Each structure stands twice: as C-alpha cells, then as structure tokens.
Amino acid sequence: MGVYWNTRVRRLSPYVPGEQPRDGKFIKLNTNENPYPPSPKVVEAIKAVLEDKAGALRLYPDPACTELREALARCYGVKPEQVFAGNGSDEILAFAFGAFFEGAGDPSGAGPVLFPDITYSFYPVYAELWDVPFRAVPLAEDFSVNAGDYRVSAAGVIFPNPNAPTGRALPSRAVKSILEYHAENAGIVIIDEAYAAFGAESMVPFINEYPNLLTVHTLSKSASLAGLRAGFAVGNEELIEGLCRIRDSFNSYTVDRLAQAGAAAAVSDAAYYEEVNRRVCAERERVSAALAGMGFTVIPSSANFIFARPPGVKGADFFARLRERGILVRHFNKPRISDFLRISIGAGGDMDELLKACREILLLRGES
C-alpha cells in the first residue's frame, strides 16, 4: 500500500492483461491477437510518415484524427461526426464509462450499469475507476446472454458481442430489444464489437435508429494491429461529442501520427482483411471440432478464440501443462469458468501444435 496513494488509487484493483513474453519462445495463443500480419498498405502508410522529408513526427498529430475518421465513415456508411478514434478500444471504453454513466451518489437515481458476470474483465475496473455502480448479470447456463435480463431499470448496459471470453454472439434483434427498453429512459447501451468481424452481426447500421447505441471497435484483432493501438467508436453525434469532451479533458493527442496513418490504411484495405479473417474463422471451426472430438466442452465461438473445458483436468492444471510445453493460452481463475481455457486462433501450424499438446496432456491424465 503506497504512502503517497490517494483513496482512489488505494481502492483500485487494476486489470491484469495476458502475459506478453519477451523471448519469443512461446506459441502465443493468449491475447487474441491476429496470427496474420497487417496489410502491406499499413506498413507503407507508416513508412511514408517516417520518411516524410519535412519530418512529420516533429509536429503533433491531428487531434481530431480527421483522415482516419473519414476513412471509417466511408467504410461504414456513416458521417465522420458519428465516429470517434482512440488509442485502442480500451481507452474508448474508459472514456465511455466516464462520459455516460453517473458516479455513485447520482441524484437522478438511475441505478447501476449492467454487464454479464462472465465478460471482459476490464468493465468492473472502469466502473471502479469512475466510481460507477454496476451489477453483474449472470449468463445463462450455456453462457449465452439472455436479452430479457437486461430489460430492467438500470443506468445503462455494456457487453461485448460476441461476448468475451465465451465467444458467444447475440443476434441483432435481441440487442435491439435491449436498446428499445433503455431508449425510454435515455439509458445508453454500449456494444463492444472487438470481435464482431469474426462472426457477430454489427450494430453499426442501427446507430441512426437508436440514439442510445454506442458501438466500440478495435483494430487490434480483426486488423492485426494490436501493436499500433487504434480503436474507434460509432454512434450518434451527441455520444461522440461526449467522448471528445472526456478526451479533451485528459489528453488531446491520444492517437499518434503513425497510428492514424496505419489505421486509415487498414480501414481502406477491407479486401485483405476479409481474406485473413476468413482463414481465422475456418481454423476456429477446424480446431473447435478437433477439441470436441477429444472430449472438450467447446462453447460455439463467433470470435477469434475458443472457450473450452478440457475433460477430467482442472483448468489451472491444463493451462500449466500447456505452458510447460511452450504454449500460452488464457486461464481465468473465476467462478463458473475456472475449468475453462480461452485459446486464441493461431496459424502456420501453431494450432496443430496445440492439438498435439492437448492429446498428450489428456493421455497422461491420471498419471501425475
């Protein structure tokens, strides 16, 4: 406990990201990065900034990220004023909690923000950071989100679609039923579409119909750019302005010049990413079937990862045995899911290595 920490910092329990080993020895299937490289056009765009004769990096980047937002607006058929760009979607989610949900002691008595009990574990961290009351709503037994559970009085709702770490997606009509319920009290529904490109229906086409809808996106997964830090949100102009107000009370230049150029190039090369992500999805289906064949309980995934429970071995033990074999996956020591593993989809033989290791571990089961 730091002597110099204020009460807020003392109270925080920060998010713990998946391990990022520095020696490159591991087959890394633990943080849902895309196994394929970014589009060559991204690399060209970044090089152009670096090689700019006038030394573009001398100058601050465009605080409004105009070119990137215009590229996104073209790609999604929305107005640039309906797009916010940020330093990865984590930053945008943090801003959204600060912009749209009241802190404890709110005189309006709007109630807590709702999100699933099993979901992206950053949400409770943001809620605590901003002192926003929240309630975790249990997922159904099969880990699906039951839309009806969110049609109750609350300050707002947030969940990923597909959900993480389960990978299960909710159809747009179910999301709409939640939006409709909360529209009456101007309650915001934030749909975190970090993994939507791998199989969920995006809610972006409905932003004009639902002024209380904010969709949040990342280039980390579907655009192979986790190392660049770029994300964006799409929603009505007022929501986007709310995010800008928080950003501009914090740091005007959250997206650097390289990230703005690289992200704009990525957004403009949809054809490349369609092919890359088609391959990721095909591999997901192959590996899901192979794991099910070994007796794993496999949750049907619409994301670039698989959430699965090995037969007869504790999740923590299976995780440790994979790690000994040089394979990193993600294990969450949390109620209901402590026997599951989240396995990101890899390429180039990595998934065959994973399947081989799983078979070995299951064969040795009971011998230790």
DSSP-derived pairing of the beta strands 327-328 and 305-309: unpaired
Q: Which of 30, 34, 82, 218 binds ligand PMP (CB under 6 A)?
A: 218
Structure tokens at 29: 């299937």
DSSP annotation of 320 reads: H
| Burial bucket for residue 331 (CB in 10 Å: 0-12, 13-18, 19+) | buried
CB of 192 to ligand PMP, least distance (A): 5
**Nearer Cβ to ligand PMP (263/361):** 263
Is residue 33 close enough to count as binding ligand PMP by CB under 6 A?
no
Is residue 88 close enough to count as binding ligand PMP by CB under 6 A?
yes
Q: Which of 99, 194, 239, 337 binds ligand PMP (CB under 6 A)?
A: 194
Q: Are 259 and 229 in contact (CB under 8 A)?
A: yes
Q: Are 344 and 31 in contact (CB under 8 A)?
A: yes
Q: Which stretch binds ligand PMP (CB under 6 A): 5-13, 218-226, 261-269, 347-355?
A: 218-226
Q: Which stretch binds ligand PMP (CB under 6 A): 73-81, 88-96, 132-140, 349-357?
A: 88-96
Closest CA to 199 of 306, 333, 109: 306
Q: Which of 84, 97, 100, 120 binds ligand PMP (CB under 6 A)?
A: 120
What does the longest C-alpha to C-alpha distance in the chain come to?
66
Is residue 328 close enough to count as binding ligand PMP by CB under 6 A?
no
Is residue 226 close enough to count as binding ligand PMP by CB under 6 A?
yes
Q: Which of 85, 164, 175, 188 binds ligand PMP (CB under 6 A)?
A: 164
Q: How far is CA 196 from the centre of its chain?
A: 9
Closest CA to 123 of 163, 85, 175, 158: 158
Number of other CB atoms surrounding residue 239 within 10 Å: 24
CB of 276 to ligand PMP, least distance (A): 17
Is residue 96 close enough to count as binding ligand PMP by CB under 6 A?
no
Is residue 80 close enough to count as binding ligand PMP by CB under 6 A?
no
In the beta sheet, which residues pair with residue 308? 298, 341
Structure tokens at 328: 């990193």
Is residue 192 close enough to count as binding ligand PMP by CB under 6 A?
yes
**Nearer Cβ to ligand PMP (181/195):** 195
Where on the chain is the footprint of ligand PMP (CB under 6 A)?
88-90, 120, 160, 164, 192, 194, 218, 220, 226, 231
